[in-house]
Amino acid sequence: MDQAKPRHWIAVALQLGATGGLAALLISLVGMVEEFSKRYIIVDVLEMGQAMLLLILIATGYMTARRLADRPPREQLLASAVSGLVPAVMLFALVLLIEPLNLRSIMLNASPGLIEILTFGQTGIAAFVLMAAAGVAQALAGGVVPHLATRIRAPLVQAVAWVGLTGLLADILRVTFTNIPGASFVLGWMFGRGSGKGLSIPGAVVVFGLVAYATYRRQKRPAGAPGWRSRLDARKARLVNIGLWAAAAVILFLLPKLLGPYLSEVTNSVGLFVLMGLGLNIVVGFAGLLDLGYVAFYAIGAYVVGVLTTSAVGDQAGQIVWGPVMSFWLALMIAVLASVMAGIVLGVPVLNMRGDYLAIVTLGFGEIIRIMAGSDFLKPFIGGSQGIVQVGVGRIGGLVIFDKPQTLFYVVVAACAAAGFISWRLRDSRMGRTWKALREDEDVAQAMGIHLVSTKLLAFATGAAFAGLSGALFASKVGSIYPHSFKLLVSINVLCLIIVGGMGSLPGVFIGALALVALPEMLREFSEYRLLMYGALLIVMMLTRPEGLRPEATRRRELHETIGPELEPPPEGVATPGEAAASG
């Protein structure tokens, strides 16, 4: 705090405590606590609803201690305790008031179930004492965190996070590994029995121990020390590289068999968003052109494939009047080309627009496409609000048919790999530099000899191509397409995932898609609260890590990285102190 007169620690504790209390009240009253309490993280010990309250209280205590970082430790801990007491009091007040105020008639979620969770099943004074004790203990736990040495803190935080994550994803992990022979014994021991039961107690201990130990070991290695791979000579390093790629290929090949239909479906959804994320990353992340109508290209890709491959052609209701019933692969290529054309068509009128104006115009474009898709005027051709059904699927001869999630998986992975490869190569090329220069300062970029029109159109076209590909696969995946699949929310989702992952960062796209598409898909309780979680996540991200989870790294090219192995060292006379140090 940079106020003239430092605030008393009680004031700080009360303020942050009230904030935490409001958050706790909110998630209780919107029904998250009760809804999520059906799923355990650690069986019979901790369920998800409790875990959310726990997280809020720990965060409250932690924030309080951090805010008072310049005060004596005793004051910090006292403040943390008080900041934990405040939410407890607020929740207790809620519990008391539900009956007399008949809150349930307004807030459906203020149910007996919620009360039981909040009060630990007690009533009266006993409930209050328990709640207060729990609140204080949890906030104190958070308040202690800043005082721990980094050596202990990092393993602890990592281990807790991993226990939480494995507990949340217990069902998926169990289903995934259950097909591996001999794994069922370990699985039965590590996870609770039945679905939604989370980790077993020994399982939680094992995960905690392993992660804590690994983090601890990793930390002990001095920063910048070479890993085992860089100690290998060139030939061995290449072998290791080949081995890793081969292993990745084998795992990818076997993955759909392990995952089963449902999880393959989820993976495919993630893949489609990765594709779109990679495309939008070029437009927004590289070239800095804020495109809010990105879903339009996704829709165009889907509709082109839909019209060209559907077998529901004729004059009956629910059928479109024209369709060549083309091969899926040919339609896929035409869909990508059509999206590219659309990208250029959209690009030309907005060439002179920047920032907010561009965002608004592209947003309008996205809506125009969606409304056109649902219009009666175009209904004979693209199905109107009844959409297009019986979209074709890809097949290779009569042998391989990509009609099930497990088989479509390979197509999606191939598409993502291609898009990722193209993005990566473009990023490190003259093209990528040009885009980034455009993002940084359009006028100066032009004064560097960069042709603005072609540069922008290339960005729009490449981004649109990826989205079109994604849309084409989407049409084949779901088998029928409707205008309401192409709402603005899709654009926003894609934008969110590249913001969360880190603007302009390729690994960030994958991480963002996992966080924003896979997690909500797999935690079915989330679905109702998806937007709420999005909002909270984005606010937290912007406050604590505005650069994203996996920000784009600056390429080190002056002294280290070269693009080809045959690059000669720079000629004499330009040797720098840094080079001398590096070679010596």
Which residues contact another protein (rule: CB under 8 A)? 421-422, 425-426, 429-434, 436-437, 439-441, 443-452, 458, 462, 554-560, 562-564, 566-568, 570-571, 573-579
209 alpha carbon, distance to own chain's centre: 27
Q: Which element (helix H / strand E) includes 40?
A: strand 40-42
The SS3 of residue 396 is strand
Nearer to another protein, 44 or 558 (CB): 558
Compute the chain's Rg from CA coordinates.
Answer: 27
Nearer to another protein, 99 or 440 (CB): 440
Give the residue from 52, 198, 55, 19 showing the smallest Cα distance to 139: 55
CA distances (Å), origin 118, targets 128, 133, 271: 10, 13, 39
Nearer to another protein, 258 or 422 (CB): 422
Nearer to another protein, 236 or 451 (CB): 451
Least CB distance to another protein at residue 473 (A): 21
Q: Which element (helix H / strand E) includes 402?
A: strand 400-402
Least CB distance to another protein at residue 512 (A): 19
Least CB distance to another protein at residue 575 (A): 8
Least CB distance to another protein at residue 437 (A): 5
How open is the CA angle 187-192-193, to the nearest 5 degrees?
90
Instruction: Count other Cβ atoms within 10 Å, centred on residue 158.
Output: 18
CA distances (Å), origin 540, targets 59, 490, 500: 12, 21, 10
Instruction: Count other Cβ atoms within 10 Å, centred on residue 578.
Output: 11
Nearer to another protein, 202 or 570 (CB): 570
Nearer to another protein, 187 or 418 (CB): 418
What SS3 string covers 256-321?
HHHHHHHHHHHHHHHHHHHHHHHHHHHHHHHCCCCCCCCHHHHHHHHHHHHHHHCCCECCCCCCEC
List the structure tokens of 185: 């014994």
Least CB distance to another protein at residue 570 (A): 5
C-alpha span between 545 and 148 (Å, rounded): 22
User: One-letter amino acid identity for 334?
Assistant: I
How open is the CA angle 572-574-580, to the nearest 5 degrees?
85
Least CB distance to another protein at residue 486 (A): 27
Torsion of the alpha carbons at 338, 343, 349 and 351, rounded to the nearest 10: -150
Nearer to another protein, 403 or 547 (CB): 547
Least CB distance to another protein at residue 458 (A): 6
Least CB distance to another protein at residue 501 (A): 17
Q: Are strands 400-402 and 40-42 parallel, antiparallel or unpaired?
A: unpaired
Give the residue from 210, 214, 186 showing the smallest Cα distance to 200: 186
C-alpha span between 138 and 140 (Å, rounded): 5
Nearer to another protein, 167 or 347 (CB): 347
Nearer to another protein, 466 or 482 (CB): 466
465-484: b (≥16 Cβ within 10 Å) or e: bbbbbbbbbbbbbeebbbbe
Residues 6+ apart with CB under 8 A from 59: 20, 142
Least CB distance to another protein at residue 354 (A): 16
Least CB distance to another protein at residue 149 (A): 30
C-alpha span between 564 and 574 (Å, rounded): 20
Give the residue from 532, 516, 522 showing the smallest Cα distance to 31: 532
Nearer to another protein, 231 or 560 (CB): 560
The answer to whether 300 and 338 are in contact (CB under 8 A) is: yes
The answer to whether 94 and 22 are in contact (CB under 8 A) is: no
Least CB distance to another protein at residue 75 (A): 37
Least CB distance to another protein at residue 457 (A): 11
Give the residue from 245, 299, 251, 224 showing the smallest Cα distance to 467: 299
The SS3 of residue 102 is coil
Nearer to another protein, 26 or 559 (CB): 559
DSSP one-letter code for 348: T
Least CB distance to another protein at residue 102 (A): 56
Length of the chain: 584
Nearer to another protein, 9 or 435 (CB): 435
Nearer to another protein, 221 or 557 (CB): 557
